[in-house]
Amino acid sequence: MLHADVAVIGGGVIGHTIAWEVRRSGRSVVLIDDAPGNGASWAAAGMLAPVSELHYQEEDLLELMLASSGLWPAFAADLALAGAGDTGYLTTPTLAIGADAADRRALMDLRAVQQGSGLVVEPLTVREARTRESLLSPAISCALDIPADHQVDPRKLVACLQEVLAIHESGAGTAVAGARAGFAVDQRAAALLWEDGRVIGVKLARGGTVLARETVVANGLQAASLDGLPVGLHLPLRPVYGDILRLAVPRHLRPLLTSTVRGMVHGVPVYIVPGRTAPW
């Protein structure tokens, strides 16, 4: 049995960030995940795109998305001050590209919605776009510059959060006996534990428990499968599937791309996200 001020279920970007904030507040934390960093945080492209991802009838989300985006520079700076390596955070802009006339109309209609919400989305000529990204086809129908949309490498970010948590624990002493690196448990959470009408911790899938004053559920799709959820709570979660191709770019071809490119190609949305890779 482990004891902590806070138990965090889920070891992705969100779970690790919550765990770090808990430790920075001076409280002890246990992070529970049998494969930390290997879910959505491993597969995601990492676009931070409050402008590009504003869609019809989602205007009520905009304030939250902009506020979240605005917190990233300070968040990345705090990780660096804590001793983290490369977080993978890049302030490179996004280009929205249309392949044909219908794509152009769709992007321009969306631009009207974005501008109506006070967002900056500026048209570029094809020449201007190809000057910035030389691999773009001269046959594209339109290009839009979105300077406020940035990106982060979630794999690097999880690694950095694990690093600073380990540094924090080694400096403060291991707060939770038996937990790896002072904060993580390599098990899946099976159920929430209740006592006198409140959650008091987590039952682990392979046996054992984590008792905590506060329990945070941050394990994405797996949250719906937890036993012991509050009566009447239904989590209508579903996976969204996509295909991702990751390319290692030879040194002599770098940078192959400097901006995130979001394309509308015959009505199908695609994107290309630049990253910083190890030399080879």
Q: How far is CA 197 from the centre of its chain?
A: 33
Cis peptide before 239 (omega within 30 of 0): no
CATH number of the domain that residue 139 is part of: 3.30.9
**Pair (198, 87) in one structural domain:** no
**Pair (169, 217) in one structural domain:** yes
Tell me the pLDDT band of 276, cut-offs 50, 70 and 90. low
CATH number of the domain that residue 188 is part of: 3.50.50.60
Q: CA 136, 141, 143, 149 torsion: positive or negative?
A: negative
Q: How many domains are contained in the chain?
A: 2
Among 167-176, 192-201, 249-258, 271-280, the least confident range: 167-176
What tens digit of pLDDT does each residue of 23-38 get? 999 999 999 999 999 9
**Pair (145, 252) in one structural domain:** yes
**Pair (134, 66) in one structural domain:** yes
Tell whether the model's pLDDT for residue 181 goes beyond 70: no
**Pair (120, 205) in one structural domain:** no
**Pair (64, 141) in one structural domain:** yes
Which residue range forms the structural domain that includes residue 170?
2-46+155-225
**Pair (55, 188) in one structural domain:** no
Q: Could you tell me which residues are beta bridge partners of residue 61?
A: none
Q: Is residue 214 part of a domain?
A: yes
**Pair (59, 142) in one structural domain:** yes
Structure tokens at 8: 């965090």
Q: Is residue 230 part of a domain?
A: no
Cβ neighbors of 226 (< 8 A, separation 6 or more) are: 9, 189, 190, 191, 192, 217, 219
What's the predicted TM-score (pTM) here? 0.88
Q: Is residue 236 part of a domain?
A: no
Q: Is residue 142 part of a domain?
A: yes
Q: Is residue 235 part of a domain?
A: no
Q: Is residue 8 part of a domain?
A: yes
| Single-letter amino acid, residue 226 | L
pLDDT at res. 170: 62
Rounded distance between C-alpha atoms, residue 175 and residue 210, angstroms: 13
Give 81: exposed, middle or buried? Use CB within 10 Å, 0-12, 13-18, 19+. exposed
Residue written as token pair 């406020």:
148
| DSSP assignment letter at 50 | T
Beta-strand relationship, 209-217 and 2-9: parallel
| DSSP assignment letter at 248 | P
- Based on its alpha-carbon atoms, the radius of gyration of the chain, rounded to whole angstroms, reads 22
pLDDT at res. 173: 44
Question: Which of 10, 5, 69, 79 minimizes the C-alpha distance to 39?
Answer: 10
E strands, the chain, where? 2-9, 29-32, 47-48, 89-90, 94-98, 122-124, 142-146, 150-152, 184-185, 189-195, 198-204, 209-217, 260-265, 268-272
**Pair (134, 7) in one structural domain:** no
Q: Is residue 231 part of a domain?
A: no
Residue written as token pair 């937890």:
226
**Pair (74, 204) in one structural domain:** no
Tell whether the model's pLDDT for residue 97 goes beyond 50: yes
**Pair (62, 40) in one structural domain:** no
Q: Is residue 280 part of a domain?
A: no
**Pair (268, 143) in one structural domain:** yes
What tens digit of pLDDT does each residue of 195-248 get? 999 999 999 999 999 999 999 999 999 999 999 999 899 899 998 888 888 888
Average confidence (pLDDT) over 125-137: 96
pLDDT at res. 176: 41
Average confidence (pLDDT) over 93-97: 97
Q: How far, CA to CA in Å, does 258 sit from each of 127, 219, 224?
A: 16, 32, 39
